[in-house]
Structure 1
């Protein structure tokens, strides 16, 4: 079931107030609030595997990582999202709950989110000045699509090998993402 819209014509400030009081997570798209669907164990394991593959590299770079429960604010589009994984290297990101300048984002698809991840979020994320790499990870097919700014945002589908995290100078093995040694 796709996420359902809730109140309309909500300001960003009203959204943040509502979200602070809510038990469920919601994304905000230009005045419309959408409840996020619950995720599967497979989804959570995939997100965790991505985070574990990236984490060792963070200390050497001084970057940080946010996973699932942290907001991304896109002021140019008037949107708040909850990406599955973000790498944050920009010193302008000083808030501990809301970020604007990730260099890497990964979204793990599910039947409920795939269309949004491939269309709406892909277009929105391309507008982030600091974003270098966006992954759309599909646990069902054990594949991912890599979109890189340096490649003019042309997607490359991978089913084996390694996937780049450009801002960390890192390549992550797909076998590690999908839990296969």
Structure 2
């Protein structure tokens, strides 16, 4: 049996292809990975989070971006699209296209069956290379479950807040926001 060669791309080749593409892809160490579409619940939860975060940030020096803002981590080459992110202070971009952010403060990922392991494992590990990242939030789209991981002053990441029912809440401490699970999962039926 012969091995199939994997085409490798430079970061510049990836960006040129990505900026012209009709669909989104991630990049890591020379390889390009197509992203799958999101479920109805995934989209509903993302919209609910976006609304809550917009209200919390109104009039503050932080701003949020949705899943169309690409993030790059130069230390490990990853280019990816978080479901939501928050940047406090002046956004820093890779180039003059202003479509690839380098300095998110908080990243939020809505988990789905196809991404749950990656989002909580390898991707979280890669995100931790971002010097500006202080909180990582994961929200499950298949069951009522959410967690906030926070970087301590010693650089170690800890589980800072979690909830597993509609009466619970999580706290994004960096922006002083308590998210009620009932608001996060509003109009999402059939989850336990």
Same fold (TM over 0.5): yes
2-structure distance, mates of 1:8, 1:114: 27
Instruction: Give the match for residue 181 of structure 2.
Output: 174
Count of paired positions: 175
Structure 2 residue runs of 5 or longer lacking an equivalent are: 1-5, 188-192
What is the CA deviation profile of residues 140-179 of structure 1, one whole-angstrom value per residue up to 9, with x for unaligned ones? Answer: 1111121111383223542142212222111111111111
Instruction: Give the match for residue 164 of structure 2.
Output: 159
Instruction: Give the match for residue 23 of structure 1.
Output: 22
1-structure distance, mates of 2:91, 2:158: 28
Question: Is residue 149 of structure 1 aligned with residue 151 of structure 2?
Answer: yes
Query: Higher mean Cα deviation, 142-151 or 49-58?
Result: 142-151
Greater Rg over alpha carbons, structure: 2
Shift of 1:30: 1.2
Shift of 1:50: 0.7
2-structure distance, mates of 1:116, 1:90: 29
Q: Which has the higher helix share?
A: 1
After the TM superposition, which residues 8-157 of structure 1 pair with which residues of structure 2 at under 5 Å, given as runs? Answer: 8-94=7-93, 96-150=98-152, 152-155=156-159, 156-157=161-162
Give the TM-score normalised by structure 1.
0.89
Structure 1 residue runs of 5 or longer lacking an equivalent are: 1-6
2-structure distance, mates of 1:134, 1:157: 12
Shift of 1:128: 1.2
2-structure distance, mates of 1:99, 1:162: 29
What is the CA deviation profile of residues 111-166 of structure 1, one whole-angstrom value per residue up to 9, with x for unaligned ones? Answer: 11111101111101112111111111102111112111138322354214221222
What SS class does the counterpart of residue 121 from structure 2 fall into?
Answer: helix
Runs of 4+ in 1 over 6 A off after TM superposition: none
What SS class does the counterpart of residue 12 from structure 2 fall into?
Answer: helix
- Superposed CA RMSD in Å reads 1.9
Give the TM-score normalised by structure 2.
0.84
1-structure distance, mates of 2:37, 2:30: 22
Q: Does structure 1 conserve the Cα–Cα contact (< 8 Å) formed by 2:162 and 2:170?
A: no
